Amino acid sequence: MSETVVSLSDVVTRFGSNLVHDGLNLDIARGEIVALVGGSGSGKTTLLRHIIGLTQPAAGQVRLFGEPLDGGSIDDQVNRKRRFGVLFQQGALFSAFTVGENIAFPLRELGVATEDEIRQLVSLKLAMVEMEAQHAALMPAELSGGMVKRAALARALALEPELLLLDEPTAGLDPDRSASFVRLILSLHRELGLTVVLVTHDLDTLAAMSSKVAVLADRKILSYASLEETMLIEHPFIERFFRGEHGRRALARAKENI
C-alpha cells in the first residue's frame, strides 16, 4: 500500500460563527497530484494552511508523512518543515530581496549550507525552473508574472521537498504561460517524485495535471476521485464547475492533448 503523505481526520474549522470545515477527512498518497476545488470561501486556502501548520483546526487531526504536525521533538518538527514547499498566491516573493536572496532564504533560515553552497544551489534551483543564473540578481519587480511564479517555485523547491503545495499557481498568467508552468510542474513531479496539492479554479490546469480531484463542498471533502469519476457526481457545485459550458470546453481541450 502506498504511503499517506497528508492525512486530515475529522477537521473542524471555525472563524467566529463561520463554520468552514465540519468533520472533513482526506488522505493523500505519495506521488498524487491533487487538485483541490470548491466554491469561493469554501475553505481551500485555509485547508492548505492547516496542512503546513500555519493555522490549527478547532478540532480534528492533521498528519504529515505519517506524524501529527506538532508531534515529536522541536528537531522533528523542523525536519518535517523541510519536507514541504509552498507557493502561495499572494506574497510569492519578498519584494525587498533579489530573486537569489529569495531562493536562498529557506536555506539560510535552516542553516544547512555554506554561502558557497547556497550560491550553487540558487543557480541549480533557477535551472530547475528554466531560469538563467543571472536572474538571481534581479528584483521581483523586474520580473514578468510568469517569472515571478517560476522564481517562487524555485524558492519552494529550495529544500528539496517531497510535498509541494500550490495555491492558484496559474492565476494571472496568460494561457501560454499557464500551460508552460503546468508542463514545468509535471516534469518536476516526474523527476523529483513529488506529491503535489494545488488549489485551482482553472479547469485547463486541473485537467492537464491532476491525478485526483478533491471537491470541497458542504464543509467536507464531498469526493476524492479521478476527474472522470468526479464529473459523474450529482451535486450543484460539480454541475456548475465541471459541466457548465466553460468546463466542457476545457475538458474537451484536455482530451485532445492527451
Q: Which residues bind ligand ATP (CB under 6 A)?
A: 15, 18, 20, 38, 40-46
Closest approach of Cβ 54 to ligand ATP, in Å? Answer: 10
> How far apart are the C-alpha atoms of 97 and 140, rounded to whole Å?
8
- Residue 141 is classified by DSSP as G
- Closer by beta carbon to ligand ATP, 9 or else 45: 45
Closest approach of Cβ 111 to ligand ATP, in Å? Answer: 31
- Closer by beta carbon to ligand ATP, 65 or else 224: 224
Closest approach of Cβ 206 to ligand ATP, in Å? Answer: 14
Closest approach of Cβ 241 to ligand ATP, in Å? Answer: 12
- Closer by beta carbon to ligand ATP, 47 or else 64: 47
Contact by Cβ (8 Å): 108, 97: no
Closest approach of Cβ 251 to ligand ATP, in Å? Answer: 20
Nearest Cα to 147, choosing from 99, 192, 198, 179?
99
3-state SS assignment for residue 59: strand
Closest approach of Cβ 21 to ligand ATP, in Å? Answer: 9
- Closer by beta carbon to ligand ATP, 55 or else 79: 55
- Grid cell digits, residue 137: 540578481
Which CA distances in Å does 205 have to 28, 37, 113, 235, 250?
19, 12, 35, 22, 9
Q: Could you tell me where the DSSP H helices lie in the chain?
A: 44-51, 74-81, 99-110, 115-128, 145-156, 175-192, 203-209, 227-231, 236-243, 245-257
- Closer by beta carbon to ligand ATP, 107 or else 173: 173
Kindly report the number of other CB atoms within 10 A of residue 95's CB atom. 10
User: CA 74: distance to chain centroid?
Assistant: 25
- Closer by beta carbon to ligand ATP, 31 or else 53: 53
